[in-house]
Amino acid sequence: MEYRDLKAQYKKLKPEMDSAISEIIENSNYISGRQVGELEEQLAAFIGAKHCISCGNGTDALMIALMAWGIGEGDAVFVPDFTFFSTGEAPAVLGAVPIFLDVDPATFNMSIPALECAVKRVIKDGKLKPKVVIPVDLFGLPAEHEAIRSIAEKYGMAVLEDGAQGFGGNINGKRACSFGDISTTSFFPAKPLGCYGDGGAIFTDDDETSGLLRSICVHGKGTSRYDNVRLGMNSRLDTLQAAILKVKLKAFAEYELNAVNEVAAMYDAKLKGKVITPKIPSQYYSSWAQYTIRLKNKIQRDNLQKKLKENGIPSMIYYIKPMHAQKAFKKLAYYDEDYPETIKLCDTVLSLPMHPYLDEKTVDVICSLIEII
Ligand SMILES: *Cc1c(COP(=O)(O)O)cnc(C)c1O
């Protein structure tokens, strides 16, 4: 059994995919080909954002956004403690201080009280300026963007939505990757919309910011690639990946997003009363980057993972270690006492096989092995 069955997807898309890929190879237009611009337009339309700028991966996307705002030394950037490393890595690489926040265990997303409390503490300490908050749409569920926006406005901070896992989710019809002043996503193969390698995209409604982001993606270009007006990066989406994503975006919008929500409903029904299933608040829609259950304690969780493995069923622990406890952030000296919910989640979560091509029989087999009350 596959954790995320990319082979089943390819089988279904094969004729279209093969012709899209061979067209690029025949034309040999590997960088900045026509398909890149076409994909950007389609992505912007799907999200409901004015501009889409594609780039090399989701980590670059975060870095480029922070660079566009000139984030660096002396700045505080607020990041959930329960996320993939990139969210904290990007501000730290630029010299800013990531301030980690505990999460709401029911949604796995940034805790709103923790955010306001941390901002107040930073202001009181007076050493750093609160500049940016990076909400993550973890496991496909959008963060509490309305509440985050109002705190950001209150303290004069920008919002950078990390939608690497959120692509396809929405709140009341407003799509993930449209909530930030800048929003980013990743096309890593295992994300809700993945390519056949690395890829990423940045979204914004602001014309000036859009131009800045595009310049930073290509060595800080001015009027041409050989006119360099600022320092930037080399971060582009290959034409091949853009062509692949065009085929995948169509399938994603037409049926995959629906299908993966149907799989989630099957899991919910079959696991009800056995373990804690993911909570999707009303008006929220998830793109199910992960289907993550919670057990009572670490022993139960580890035993269940072992049992699944013995039966040939892959499962993952996202995430085994909180951000504040990563060795890379050791010198920032965070305290475990500030992160009770994240620490508990790291010990009790388990993510089950999840993708749009999972059938009910397979879900039955997985759920029949989960018997803990
Ligand atoms: C995957 C991921 C990223 C980074 O994306 P890459 O394309 O792998 O660089 C950033 N943030 C979150 C929350 C992610 O899950």
Which 3-state string (H, E, C) describes 299-357?
A: HHHHHHHHHHHHCCCCCECCCCCCHHHCHHHHHHCCCHHHCHHHHHHHHHEEEECCCCC
Task: Summarize pLDDT for 176-190 with one digit per residue, the tens.
Answer: 999 999 999 999 999
Cβ–ligand 1 contact at 83 (below 6 Å): yes
pLDDT confidence bin for 224, thresholds 50/70/90: confident
Cβ–ligand 1 contact at 54 (below 6 Å): no
| CA separation, residue 161 to residues 43, 89, 145, 239 (Å) | 16, 15, 9, 25
pLDDT confidence bin for 333, thresholds 50/70/90: confident
Cβ neighbours of residue 298 closer than 8 Å, sequence gap 6 or more: 347, 348
Give the residue-averaged pLDDT of 208-214. 98
Work out whether strand 75-80 and strand 129-133 pair parallel, antiparallel, or are unpaired: parallel
Ligand 1 center to 361 CA (angstroms): 31
Strands (E), 176-268: 182-186, 200-204
Instruction: Give the side-chain half-sphere CA count within 13 A for 76.
Output: 23
Give the residue-averaged pLDDT of 270-289. 97
Task: Summarize pLDDT for 2-61 with one digit per residue, the tens.
Answer: 999 999 999 999 999 999 999 999 999 999 999 999 999 999 999 999 999 999 999 999
**Tokens describing residue 32:** 């900045």
Ligand 1 center to 221 CA (angstroms): 26
Round the CA-based radius of gyration of the chain to a whole number and report it.
Answer: 21
Q: Please say if the pLDDT value at position 131 is more than 80.
A: yes
The overall average pLDDT reported for the chain is 97
pLDDT confidence bin for 291, thresholds 50/70/90: very high
Q: Are 255 and 211 in contact (CB under 8 A)?
A: no
Cβ–ligand 1 contact at 183 (below 6 Å): no
Overall pTM surpassing 0.75 (yes/no): yes
What is the position in ligand 1's atom list of the atom closest to the CA of 137?
Answer: 13
Q: Please say if the pLDDT value at position 373 is more than 70.
A: no
23: left (phi over 0), alpha (psi -120 to 50) or beta: alpha
Give the residue-averaged pLDDT of 224-239. 95
Ligand 1 center to 190 CA (angstroms): 10
pLDDT confidence bin for 371, thresholds 50/70/90: confident
Distance between CA atoms of residues 209 and 303, nearest Å: 49
Give the residue-averaged pLDDT of 77-82. 98
φ, ψ (nearest 5 deg) of residue 339 = -130, 50
Q: In this structure, is the dihedral angle defined by the CA atoms of residues 62, 194, 163 and 302, taken in order, positive or negative?
A: negative
Q: Please say if the pLDDT value at position 372 is more than 80.
A: no
Ligand 1 center to 273 CA (angstroms): 32
